[in-house]
Amino acid sequence: MTKVILPELGEGIEKATVSYWYFQQGEKVNEKDDLVEITTDKATFNLPSPAAGTLIQIILSEGDTVHPGEVLGIIE
Amino acid sequence: MSFEVFDLGLIDYQKALVFQQEVFKAVESGLPQFALILCSHYPVITCGRQANKKNILVPAEELVNRGISVFETSRGGDVTYHGPGQLIIYPVVNLAHFKKDIHWFLRLLEEVVIDLLSDFGVEGRRIEGKTGVWVGEAKICSVGIAIRGWISFHGLSINVKAADLDNFNLIRACGMDVNLTSLETILGRNIEISDISKMGSELFISKIEPGSILAGGRVL
């Protein structure tokens, strides 16, 4: 099981918004596929999948606020 | 540090985007470590990820009549306008080679523009909590970037020609009621995009990698 965790995005960036999941829950993903897009004020940030497997759970959905270090979803 | 600079001149937004994607793949594969794409666009309205379509103030047919196309893009930010009177800089940078920090990178882009303006004796400034560069209370530069795997794309636009500002009236730029200005408006004289594009790229390179101009990249 691999947790999809939002990394630190930069100094002073304490939160961002989940703007787009490229995959739905239950879909298979490859390592490094674009998995989820996060948006801060003037930047979008694409988080690649940390592992190959199935996206078994989306914990934070589109529109949710996310903080660095938080788990966005789980791949198994 | 290897880099390349591409000056595309006046180019269609979508063609430049395709070119940007090609450069992105090159940077992703490791060479060059960063690239700058300089260009201007034919009139176009682009919508970032936070775009509210209500910020386009005129009906679609009016835009068609004026020859202005609309694109949805993957950059951050709201609605903006690009035209032949702006210098656009798309820095495609693998931040893993420098600093994995979006805030740092956005501030660096603003600093390039502030220094560029200062070379013309114009005092540019940031406004706390907003991204972009202002002269007095008027905005001269918009910034909107995207990052994938810590490689940046999209970038910034600087208003150079006074004649192009009218089209900003078609939108609420960046979702704000903001006054726009241009370098020509401030200086009261003619400035060509080509006058500032080389300055802009050299400033960017010297800031992101001090000494790299001397080390020598390829300027195409």
Is residue B205 within 8 Å of residue B163, measured between CB atoms? no
Q: How confident is the model at residue B217 (pLDDT cuts 50, 70, 90)?
A: low
Nearest CB neighbour to A40, from listed B76, B132, B143? B76
pLDDT, tens only, A28-55: 999 989 999 999 878 999 999 999 999 9
CATH fold of B3-219: BirA Bifunctional Protein; domain 2 (3.30.930)
- Six-digit token string for B53: 């379509």
Check if B106 contacts A (Cβ < 8 Å): yes
pLDDT, tens only, B24-48: 999 999 989 899 999 999 999 998 8
Output the pLDDT for position B56: 86
- Six-digit token string for B71: 């694109």
Query: Residue B213 pLDDT more than 60?
Result: no
Check if A45 contacts B (Cβ < 8 Å): yes
Check if B104 contacts A (Cβ < 8 Å): yes
Output DSSP code: residue B155.
E
**Cβ-proximal residues to A21 (8 Å cutoff; 6+ apart), any chain:** A35, A36, A37, A58, A61, A62, A73
pLDDT, tens only, B122-166: 999 999 888 899 999 999 999 999 999 899 999 999 999 998 888
Strand ranges (E), B123-163: 133-135, 138-148, 151-159
Euclidean distance between CA atoms A26 and B207, whole angstroms? 45
Query: Residue B18 pLDDT more than 90?
Result: yes
* Cβ–Cβ pairs < 8 A, chains A and B: 66
- Six-digit token string for B97: 């080679």
Distance from CA of B51 to the nearest CA of A (A): 11
pLDDT, tens only, B57-98: 888 888 888 889 998 888 777 888 999 999 999 999 999 999
Q: Coil, strand, or helix at residue B71?
A: strand
Output the pLDDT for position B128: 87
Helices (H), B30-123: 60-65, 102-118
Assess whether B174 carries a catalytic annotation.
yes
Contact A46 B147 (CB under 8 A): yes
Is residue B80 within 8 Å of residue B131, measured between CB atoms? no
Check if A51 contacts B (Cβ < 8 Å): no
Q: What sign has the CA pseudo-torsion B62, B14, B73, B110?
A: negative
Check if B107 contacts A (Cβ < 8 Å): no
Contact A39 B105 (CB under 8 A): no
Nearest CB neighbour to B102, from listed A34, A37, A40? A40
Nearest CB neighbour to A10, from listed B48, B103, B144? B103
Output the pLDDT for position B214: 46
Nearest CB neighbour to B102, from listed A9, A32, A48? A9
Which chain A residue has the Cα nearest residue B129?
A41
Output the pLDDT for position B77: 77
Better pLDDT: A63 or B53: A63
Which chain B residue has the Cα nearest residue A49?
B149
Contact B144 A42 (CB under 8 A): yes
Strand partners, A50: none
Is residue B59 reached through a cis peptide bond, with omega within 30 degrees of 0 on the bond before it? no
- Six-digit token string for B75: 């950059």
pLDDT, tens only, B170-190: 888 766 778 899 999 999 999
ipTM topping 0.85: yes
